[in-house]
Amino acid sequence: MLSKSIEKALNKQIRIEAESSQVYLAMAVWAEVKGLEGISNFMYDHSDEEREHMLKLIKFVNERGGHAHISELAAPSVEFSSFQVMFEKLLEHEISVSQSINELVHSSLQEKDYATHNFIQWYVSEQIEEEATARTILDKVNMIGDDKGGLYLFDRDIQQLNINSAAAEDIE
């Protein structure tokens, strides 16, 4: 059974994951309108992934005797001065999500809720991967600068981007 404070913290994270889905969706739309099909498809896929993260939390809360809440969401930015600025905002967003996950880990340990702590470890690993992906993309975008040819190639290649972070590797 979840304590009320852990349930509240998990519901806060549900909202954050839903807002993350919206952030990626807004970026997908912006990129699509700018003719950046590869970037938009990447963002649409990540929007779906963030929604799955939200659903995983909802199921966990309900299965542990809590009540998941669906709340209103903060509207994401829908305009960006450049694709570089968009990816900078994305990295900032992922760092803030990681901070929220870390607070949830801390709360679960304080309350000795080891089931929640164990469950949240998946999100800790996922955030390492999300931040690594955002940093790698931003590094590539910074290398491109204002080169239109570089942007064309980046847009085409981003769909194949596969980041192998230390957390995602299988330990054998």
Annotated binding site: 17, 50, 53, 94, 127
CA distances from 118 to 103, 106, 113, 115, 122 (A): 14, 12, 9, 5, 8
Task: Kindly state the tokens that stand for 171.
Answer: 């330990």
Residue 117's domain comprises 4-160
Give me the pLDDT at residue 139, please. Answer: 94
Q: Rounded to an integer, what distance in angstroms lies between the CA atom of residue 21 and that of residue 41?
A: 14
pTM (2 decimals)?
Answer: 0.90
Any domain includes 170:
no
What average pLDDT does the segment 150-158 reach? 89
Q: Which residue has the higher pLDDT, 49 or 163?
A: 49
Q: How many domains does the chain have?
A: 1
Q: What type of residue sits at position 89? A: K
Task: Kindly state the tokens that stand for 84.
Answer: 């570089």
Q: Rounded to an integer, what distance in angstroms lies between the CA atom of residue 86 and that of residue 92?
A: 10
Widest distance between CA atoms in the chain: 56
- For residue 159, name the pLDDT band (cuts at 50, 70, 90): confident
Annotated binding site for Fe cation: 17, 50, 53, 94, 127
Give me the pLDDT at residue 24, please. Answer: 97
pLDDT tens for 79-103 read 999 999 999 999 999 999 999 999 9
CATH number at residue 134: 1.20.1260.10
Any domain includes 165:
no
